[in-house]
Structure 1
Amino acid sequence: MNRKEFIQLLFDKILILDGAYGTQLSASIKGINFPEEANIVSPETVLSLHKNYIDAGADIIKTNTFGLFHLFNTGKIDKNYALKLLKSGVEIGVKAAKEKSVFCFASFGPMSDSIFSYSAETLDFFIDFYSTATELALLQGVQGILFETFSDFLELKLAVYSVRKISNSIPVIAQFTLNSNGATIQGVDAKNCGAFLDTIDCDVAGLNCSTGPLDMALNFESFSEYISKPMSASPNAGLPELRNGEVYYPDIKKEFKKALSVFLKNGARIVGSCCGSNPDYTRAIKEEVNKFKGTYVKKNKKDFLVSPDFLVDFENKSFFPIGERLNLLGNKTFKENYLKNFENAIEIEVNRQITAGAKCLDFNVDLIARDDYLTAKRDIIALQNFAKPIISIDTLYLEVMNEVALYSACTPLYNSADLTEKRFNFIAELYKKFGGKIIVLLMSGKKVPKTFEERLKGLELVDMFVEEYEIDKRDIFVDPLALTLGTGVENYHYVEEIIEKSKYKTIVGLSNFSHGLPDRSRLNSFLLTNLIRRGLTASILDISDPNIASVIFNNEAIFEGKGFSLGEKNGLVFKGEFSKWGEYLIKGDIENLTREIISRLEKRDKATFLLEKGLIENMEKIGSYFEKGAIYLPQLLSSAETMKNAFETLKPYLEEELAGENKNKNMDNARILLFTVQNDVHDIGKNIVLTVLKSFGFSVFDGGIDKSPDEIIEEINSTNARVVGLSALMTTSLPYMRETVKKIKESLPEVKVIVGGAVVTKRFAEEIGADGYGKNAFDAVNLVRNLL
């Protein structure tokens, strides 16, 4: 069945997706290091579980292959072994599906730990392995690909792209996972996640895993708001408990039934379950689906652009400013800084524009990329390590356009197509692949129209191209070509008239009008005011110019009903003598923070005072914002890294001040070791705790992942650690955490043990005899302080 037929089936019928494999197989097969090894160690057990799900009512079974991708990426298994397990898992699933006449989808999980710094090498490595896995799965006869439990936009986009490189006909389901606050681990809102899935080349957009059915139901309506595709929902069976040393999931089938009605009413056409579930859950879901009387109503596609950080809804009729200064050809300062250090130059300019309020940045590195288009790929990846705005890809070169479109974690603006067949065709293909919107210049090739009539003819050609390439007219921005007023004011009037006559969105490069003229800032702001009132949709401009910012703000306040109340941006308030330091920490601005520290030290302020009042108190404030959900992990990690760097500036002064004092000895000797326990390869939580503890000045070391109790004790003995932190994300690793705590207490009773992780609770920590439980990194800081 091809993707078109599969989508039609979903219009006609709700399909049941099966449930958990990892928790089921780990509990029933002893001696496997991870659930996917069951594909070789005990294939009959995997086959039996598939059949049990089918007998319970599953229409789609997924292969037992989800974790292979992360295991391979983290070096726990090599490529050959990963592909061997994948091949075996797919063969078992396809065999079960054929016997029972149901669908078999290959389960592909994320390769990353959900938060990582992008590099071209890493991303290309992902594409290569997902493509290889797709080829192998299709050879074994799978009928679809299921991407589940993703958190990162770009990783999921490239994963889907990898499949489409191999097959444009295979059905693809793509699913994000959210926390109970309705955001990914990176802090991306459910609404943005749904909107993004609606633009990439998958057939079904969904959610899976998370914390349980009722939490997912609370966020599903928001998630579905911008989705016009069929949807899927497969929540966890709640959070696990440990009873008599065994992982136990409470029976929450009633909660599933309540949540199902929310999923189905909001457009879910595939429903199932995830971690902790079993065939009984599938049976209960099937019964509830059979009772559902609603019919599927396909939703119209909405008019928006989206990135992890921003969602711009054009149905709200707001003016859309695009920051212009990330341009090597038009920004002399940026060019000079870029040629010295491209990453630093990009970071400074991106932060400046985002702080000024830009949600979309015009990205032009043609000066360098014209000689090596891969430079543009490097630069767009670097940009997204600092922020994740919507990108306007401003380039003359089609190779550059392709690279930036592929590696942008957003639905981009293509800046620009002209009215020539070759260029328009190329950009239209990118639009079909990656979504977004197209800026069309009213010119053919290099010929600039001189009269209003020539521009009107250009509009007619736009109509022809839009129809020929089947482009949604809402996805077209027409650029009437702003020319300097120095050549005559009639060019400006031509732009006004095109804005009023165009049935498409309109956009201008504002600074083109004032090129070569005096007092450009005031002139630009005057012209912008007039054009917005005439209906201009968007403009590429210097949003950090106070006069331009004033026009935008006043337009929103008066004509868009947003009022004049500025409020505190994002609700983040830092008060007192060191309020600026808090702002530097949250922005990751180590340059200004270091300058402030050195200035205060030169004024004879004590380093201990600056650490306590300037850094620690502000970091604790940031921690409280994190706990309230006002900021998310990327900001927290950035703040912690900035504080760690600031601490290095203070460190020699602290050592001098504290020489011979117990406080300094305590810090130096208080060695802390952090581990992820056996049977668990996830290290994101551990790494967050490590970074934050280091930023507070503790002597903390990374003990690694998947460590057995004996390995952990050996490491403690060799380092004389006083505190050990144990992390677990997998429910199957909880018994190993229990065993590790027991062995540490028996052999090293003086060592304090703290525990944490997504599946760990305070009750569980008390039950296994840990000295403390930390829900997050700041709990860990307070625990360590108290224990030492």
Structure 2
Amino acid sequence: MTKLEFRELTKQKIILLDGATGSNMQKAGMPVGVCPEEWILKNPEVLIKLQREYIEAGTDILYAPTFTGNRIKLTEYGLEGRISEMNQELVKLSKQAVLEAKADRKVYIAGDITMTGQQLYPVGTLRFEELVEVYKEQIAYLLLGGADLFVIETMMSLQECRAALLAVKETCDLPVMITLTFNENNRTLYGTDPVTAITVLQKMGADAVGVNCSTGPEGMYEIVKEMKRYASVPIIAKPNAGLPQLINDETVFTMESEEFARETIRLAEAGAGIIGGCCGTTPKHLEVLHNAVRGLIPPALKPERVRILTTERRALKIPDSGKFLVIGERINPTGKKALQEELRQGDFQMVADFARKQEEDGADILDVNMGMNGIDEKETMVDAVYEITGFSGLPLSIDSSHVNVIEAALRIYPGRALINSVSLEKEKLEKLLPLARKYGAMFILLPLSDKGLPKDIEEKKEIIHTILNAAEENGLTREDIVVDGLVNTVGANKEAALQTLETIRYCKEELGLATVVGLSNISFGLPERQFVNSTFLALAIREGLTMAIANPSQELLMNTAFAADLLAAKEEADIRYIRRVTERPATVITQKGDASPNADKNSSTAGNQAISSGKPGEDENLSEALKNKTFHQVYEAVIKGNKRDILNKVKEVLKEDVKPSFVLDELLIPAINDVGKLFDKQVYFLPQLISSAETMKTAIDFLEPLLKEGKEEKKKLATVVIATVSGDVHDIGKNLVVLMLKNYGFEVIDLGKDVPSEKIIETAREYDADIIALSALMTTTMLEMKKVIALKKETGIKARIIIGGAVITQSYADEIGADGYAKDAGETVAVVKRLMGL
């Protein structure tokens, strides 16, 4: 199947996918805990019958049952040596089902790919390129089996979606569909929202993007609707048959086929052009759905005309006449000897400090440049990107003179970045435009050529048009481009400002392009430069300037930008201006044009912003301990997940003659409590929660020997035995719970994943456990929790049982007689404390 054939098919009708495989295989006798792929190969007739029924029900694209057929997953079952055979044979079984069904239409087989279950670096140890190779291996075998296209499904991490998509694109030219699973707050477990997901993936070349699993049709309506606003590719919706319920000791999806079809039709009306069923759906569900959508016209693809940059968790929209944006310029070693020395030592503390300070000062985007002598620029750039994306909420502008450095950064950047920049210089034009297309990046168009600076405004316009045409030939659009006005110094060329202003006007009004300038160039060599810069900025904004590369700590410049937006009557500019100047009163300017010595006296860091305002930082009501600046730095390191620097901060505190127990009880515990609050408020998401928890663990590991030396050993609060139940090989959430419980001083016996119920009870008896914590991520394994509770009652052990996981609810906990339910790691700590009376 070619990409063109896929596009044409989606224009002709609503495309019908298949329904559930796993839940139907279990109904047919597949035991809990076995490798599904292996069981199917031993019982091929069961799969062929199910898939034949899906085809007869109207399915156009059938998923091959290769969901967990990657090497990492198969290794968990000891089957990695059969990866080639299993993937090929499973595709062939699906093709056999197509032949036996004798459909009156073409039915396509999608090679099915999903998450590996391992955490990507820097949160985990799996490197991005390793993951790409894992996916490439499976894809190669799926191709040998005869897959017509690929589906990357049930994804929680946008970065893993990117890795799988790149693996397909670098292996073949077949179409790729991608679906993520979203929580009740319409974000993935890793915090990605629908707009960010559709923007990043369609710009990288996905042929369809959408949502599957985790909820019934009604829970997907807003997600599909939001994606549709920005979608240039078809939207997919593959919901469950409602939410699971426990009926007669069996997990049951109770949504009948008629209701499922009625609700899923609403998803088509909201914008989904490709629909199907996930957990709990049967051929009957698909048959009724097929009859309901027959004759419906596929949704038209009319995305809003808007430029969007993203992080992994946030989309920055750049409208034609919206808020003026600032690209922070400080992360650049040029002229910064201290930063240069740190980078040579592999230290990124100043990089992090510059990023945090610029974000606090009002930057919207961060420019990252690692160009200097004495380092491996590519390696340093990659490390800097990892460092900044670990905590910053701002998208990045990747700035380098070297193509390979830019590509290395784009490859591992977990969102949509801005390339700074693409000129008419032959190498850059020919190599960077394809990279922008491949990685879905926006780029700054720099009107320079191999001849150097344009001699006049006409040559500048000619260069702009040449690069614009080349970009469009590479599949890029005008919304992917920001033109650099190319500011020269007015001290050398009196017409410099006027020429740049004309460039800005021309790009906005005649070409519909966004624009950017590097402000400081205009005043080079002049005294009192800030007045020239700020006045020029106001004039440029009046002409339609979209953004500028500048230092956001320059208050005159920033306040001028806010005031210019106000006077231009931009939407909500009045509110933004008032907030800016009241929260950050202007400082006194000396005769030399520098801020007075007291300028930063009242400035705050990101770590000082109030929890109550929904920002990372301390509570408004600081304890006496946290009012001490040195002490507060330990707290702040945990809040920010600064694992690299936490030990230095702890050692500084200990120099002040305080006990190690003071550091734990008064600094670390309050910090992790506040991280939990940020997580509850959806300010923080899984990566930040893990980062902060790991930072705290680093500090505790250092403090434990000191606590013992001073006979201050941590008080044992309770003993917790924790496990992912039998048949379930997911442990991301469970591992985080382990980390959080240990940080709070609980003794934790972690049994891992896929643990038999009998072993859980035996271990709880052996350690005289106070708590048994159980995790399950699949509807097919949640019944094991009830089995553990029954065994606990039989044996009479004292442990209380709490349960959690993606499919678990409070009502289910009540139904099976669990002592507690926790929706996440932070809540688990609270539940354990409540049960123990702590």
TM-score normalized with structure 1 length = 0.90
> 776, 779, 785: which is aligned to 2:827?
779
| 2:230 aligned counterpart, secondary structure | coil
In the alignment, is the contact (CA less than 8 A) between 1:455 and 1:480 conserved in 2?
no
In the alignment, is the contact (CA less than 8 A) between 1:231 and 1:270 conserved in 2?
yes
> 141, 147, 150: which is aligned to 1:142?
147
**What is the match of residue 303 of structure 1?**
306
Check if 1:571 corresponds to 2:607: no
**What is the match of residue 540 of structure 1?**
549
**What is the match of residue 678 of structure 1?**
726
Superposition deviation, residue 609 in structure 1: 7.2
**What is the match of residue 97 of structure 2?**
96
> Which stretch shows the higher mean deviation, 484-493 or 691-700?
484-493
| 2:773 aligned counterpart, secondary structure | strand
> 255, 260, 269: which is aligned to 2:264?
260
Q: How does 1:28-177 map to 2 (within 5 A)?
A: 28-31=28-31, 33-69=34-70, 71-72=72-73, 75-100=76-101, 101=103, 102-113=107-118, 117=122, 122-168=127-173, 170-177=174-181
**What is the match of residue 354 of structure 1?**
359
In the alignment, is the contact (CA less than 8 A) between 1:180 and 1:216 conserved in 2?
no
Check if 1:506 corresponds to 2:509: no
Alpha-carbon RMSD across the aligned residues, in angstroms, is 3.3
Q: Deviations over 1:345-374 (max 9, x none)?
A: 443333333333434222222336985645
Runs of at least 5 residues in structure 2 that lack an aligned partner in the other structure: 584-608
**What is the match of residue 634 of structure 1?**
687
Q: Distance in 1 between matches of 2:374 and 2:435?
A: 19
In the alignment, is the contact (CA less than 8 A) between 1:391 and 1:413 conserved in 2?
yes
Distance 1:119 1:306, change over 3 A: farther
Superposition deviation, residue 727 in structure 1: 0.7
**What is the match of residue 440 of structure 2?**
435
Distance 1:322 1:331, change over 3 A: farther
In the alignment, is the contact (CA less than 8 A) between 1:208 and 1:235 conserved in 2?
yes
Superposition deviation, residue 7 in structure 1: 1.0
> Which stretch shows the higher mean deviation, 591-600 or 309-318?
591-600
Distance 1:372 1:782, change over 3 A: closer
| 1:366 aligned counterpart, secondary structure | coil
Matched pairs, number: 781
Distance 1:239 1:606, change over 3 A: farther
Give the letter for the 1:305 counterpart: I
| 2:333 aligned counterpart, secondary structure | coil
Q: Deviations over 1:282-327 (max 9, x none)?
A: 123213213x645532314633223223323233523232122222
Q: Distance in 2 between matches of 1:769 and 1:671?
A: 21
Superposition deviation, residue 279 in structure 1: 1.7
In the alignment, is the contact (CA less than 8 A) between 2:433 and 2:471 conserved in 1?
no
Q: Distance in 1 between matches of 2:656 and 2:340?
A: 36
In the alignment, is the contact (CA less than 8 A) between 1:70 and 1:109 conserved in 2?
no
In the alignment, is the contact (CA less than 8 A) between 1:265 and 1:294 conserved in 2?
no
> 738, 753, 768: which is aligned to 2:801?
753
Q: Percent identity?
A: 30
Superposition deviation, residue 10 in structure 1: 0.9
Distance 1:359 1:648, change over 3 A: farther
**What is the match of residue 602 of structure 2?**
none
Check if 1:408 corresponds to 2:413: yes
Superposition deviation, residue 676 in structure 1: 0.9
| 1:561 aligned counterpart, secondary structure | coil
Give the letter for the 2:481 counterpart: I
Superposition deviation, residue 694 in structure 1: 2.4
Check if 1:743 corresponds to 2:791: yes
Distance 1:380 1:604, change over 3 A: closer
Q: Distance in 2 between matches of 1:261 and 1:206?
A: 15
> Which stretch shows the higher mean deviation, 591-600 or 365-374?
591-600
Distance 1:174 1:489, change over 3 A: same
Q: Distance in 1 between matches of 2:279 and 2:120?
A: 21
Q: Distance in 2 between matches of 1:316 and 1:81?
A: 54
Distance 1:373 1:656, change over 3 A: closer
Distance 1:88 1:460, change over 3 A: closer
Give the letter for the 1:777 counterpart: A
Superposition deviation, residue 158 in structure 1: 2.2
Check if 1:694 corresponds to 2:753: no
Superposition deviation, residue 687 in structure 1: 1.7
Distance 1:380 1:608, change over 3 A: closer
Distance 1:628 1:478, change over 3 A: closer
Distance 1:671 1:515, change over 3 A: farther
Runs of at least 5 residues in structure 1 that lack an aligned partner in the other structure: none
Q: Distance in 2 between matches of 1:373 and 1:626?
A: 34
Q: Distance in 2 between matches of 1:625 and 1:386?
A: 13
Superposition deviation, residue 771 in structure 1: 2.8
Q: Distance in 2 between matches of 1:159 and 1:595?
A: 38
Q: Distance in 2 between matches of 1:375 and 1:440?
A: 25
In the alignment, is the contact (CA less than 8 A) between 2:71 and 2:83 conserved in 1?
no
> 534, 555, 558: which is aligned to 1:549?
558
Check if 1:561 corresponds to 2:571: yes
> Which stretch shows the higher mean deviation, 144-153 or 697-706?
697-706
**What is the match of residue 196 of structure 2?**
192
Q: Distance in 1 between matches of 2:555 and 2:447?
A: 31
> Which stretch shows the higher mean deviation, 337-346 or 750-759?
337-346
Superposition deviation, residue 228 in structure 1: 1.6
In the alignment, is the contact (CA less than 8 A) between 1:761 and 1:773 conserved in 2?
yes
In the alignment, is the contact (CA less than 8 A) between 1:38 and 1:45 conserved in 2?
no
| 1:367 aligned counterpart, secondary structure | coil
| 1:132 aligned counterpart, secondary structure | helix
Distance 1:216 1:763, change over 3 A: same
Q: Deviations over 1:153-172 (max 9, x none)?
A: 2221221121112222x121
TM-score normalized with structure 2 length = 0.85
Q: Distance in 2 between matches of 1:411 and 1:665?
A: 47
| 2:190 aligned counterpart, secondary structure | coil
Check if 1:530 corresponds to 2:535: no
| 1:281 aligned counterpart, secondary structure | helix
> Which stretch shows the higher mean deviation, 413-422 or 346-355?
346-355
Check if 1:271 corresponds to 2:309: no
Q: Deviations over 1:732-756 (max 9, x none)?
A: 2123222233334433612332221
> Which stretch shows the higher mean deviation, 424-433 or 474-483?
474-483
Q: Distance in 2 between matches of 1:114 and 1:649?
A: 24
Distance 1:532 1:3, change over 3 A: same
> Which stretch shows the higher mean deviation, 109-118 or 738-747?
109-118
Superposition deviation, residue 12 in structure 1: 1.0
